[in-house]
Structure 1
């Protein structure tokens, strides 16, 4: 067996869990959380143990020995602006995620759950940057009102994954191509992706895809 990765993607009403052997998917499951159960919690962070129980239950169902893992990775939450990439979960990140800084979002539990399970397994815990990825060019922040600069908030995890896949299919790397990527889910992100960087995107929380 190669490098064994447990991946955790918490969403607003579900938690998706998958096990990879290097880049090969071994299994993937989604647990849906009824709204009446989630409404019992006062904050997203208070759902930590509830969602941890669901993840561990899936691992048991699939006969996964946590000690066999090489790493645990979670969806990156809403953090301060950062370059796209993979980051180790440290205490400072955990504090921000727990406080909901700069604000609460279900994805904030990705790093928290990765750290908890990583500690159980005795392996590295990390997040892949998502919502807060900021690779803007200077002009991208301009809105016409200097008091209200544009912010980079998007479905970056999916955007980056689509760019990597498309680049492979075209026989190159993300740095070789320019793309326009549209994430169409319950939220919409439309991104200009130039040579491996997200140089502009509509703010999925505040802007529409057109202006």
Structure 2
């Protein structure tokens, strides 16, 4: 058995890949979208699993399937690594739903559907939050009442952990060093975005918090915000907590500033002199630069910065803007290297820079597959 089926479920989607782990080739890749939406034809993630199975017909040999790997958004403080799924694990994921009400129910439904579809195949859950369980107490603790922290689980958890872990390992390999020898900052910049400070292969701080709302300006999320803003809006407008939460998650960020959450459109509009687009781009890059400065201080020594995900891998404008003015700290991009578009891992820093600046395409699916086999005691 040498194949792993990776199921990466969002709140309204399922991305899947069937990977041959002998040569790490993709035997099947697909996505089911608009799950549970009025405009879609798939009622829920259980029905989505049926669609996945139909699309895998003729491509999947069950006798060769070593494991099914699942992405689960929130593991709270209960899961520190990939975990073999059983009834107790499913029960714990269910109890964590209040921390991720949009994603964990979808993740759990898909896990249960996959267990039914592949009753004799090990199922492994890989948690977005697990990589950040190495945060020191002073980094994950919020200054809020003890009852909130202890009874309600209010603390920093962090997300995108699977991507940060994969990219940090690949970046270390590019430097010709082991992850335990390297300090780095990984910038996962997509529609959702987060920064992670990694010391000797372990996450010590990250920009997302108890939820994915905190931190950087994102496609539709506000990122860092004075907590009193929500109470102020509620008093002034009569809007409910749920309505305000929806606005901050779905109607804010770049969308609110520029009218679009697509950096390509914003970059093009800014180049033509569109003022809202220019402001959005400036604010986006400035927020990233602030976090880089904070994590430089937290780490003390930084060997590399790695850009990844859709924006990080493809936007030369954002990469240059995020690092503007950091030359005196030994951090810079080479205009020529930065402008070259490629899907390969690459250096974009000039020869004189003390800190390597890298672009590392993320691969969460292969990381999930590797971790699934790790749980089973096999090397991918």
Task: Report which of the two has the higher share of strand.
Answer: 1
Quote the Cα distance in structure 1 between the aligned partners of 2:215 and 2:181. 28
Structure 1 portions without partners, runs of 5+ = 41-45
Of residues 81, 87, 97 in structure 1, which corresponds to 2:83? 87
TM-score normalised over the length of structure 2? 0.47
Q: Deviations over 1:78-126 (max 9, x none)?
A: 1222565311112122123345253323355446534543554312110
CA distance in 2, matches of 1:142, 1:70: 39
Give ranges in structure 2 of 5+ residues lacking alignment. 217-286, 291-380
- CA offset at residue 190 of structure 1? 0.8
Question: Does 1:125 pair with 2:123?
Answer: yes
- Is 1:153 the counterpart of 2:161? The answer is no
Q: SS in structure 2 opposite 1:163?
A: helix
Deviations 1:149-192 (A, max 9, x none): 64122111111111122122222332221111111122111110
SS at match of 1:171: coil
| TM-score calculated relative to the size of structure 1 | 0.80
Separation (CA, whole Å) in 1 of partners of 2:159 and 2:171: 19
User: 2:336 maps to what in 1?
Assistant: none
After TM superposition, the runs of 4+ consecutive aligned structure 1 residues lying more than 6 A away are none
Match of 2:341 in 1: none
| Contact kept? 1:78, 1:107, Cα under 8 Å | yes
Instruction: Give the number of the structure with larger relative contact order, counting CA–CA contacts within 8 Å between residues 6 or more apart.
Output: 1
Within 5 A, what are the aligned runs for 1:1-211?
A: 3-22=2-21, 24-34=24-34, 37-39=35-37, 47-60=44-57, 62-82=58-78, 84-98=80-94, 100-106=97-103, 109-110=106-107, 112-114=109-111, 116-118=113-115, 120-121=117-118, 122-131=120-129, 133-143=132-142, 145-147=143-145, 150-203=155-208, 205-209=212-216, 210=287
* Alpha-carbon distance in structure 2 between the residues aligned to 1:68 and 1:120: 15
Change in Cα spacing, 1:108 to 1:179, as seen in structure 2 (3 Å) is farther
Higher radius of gyration, 1 or 2: 2
RMSD (Å), alpha carbons: 2.7
Structure with greater proportional helix content: 2
Cα separation, partners in 2 of 1:119 and 1:32, compared to 1, 3 Å:
closer
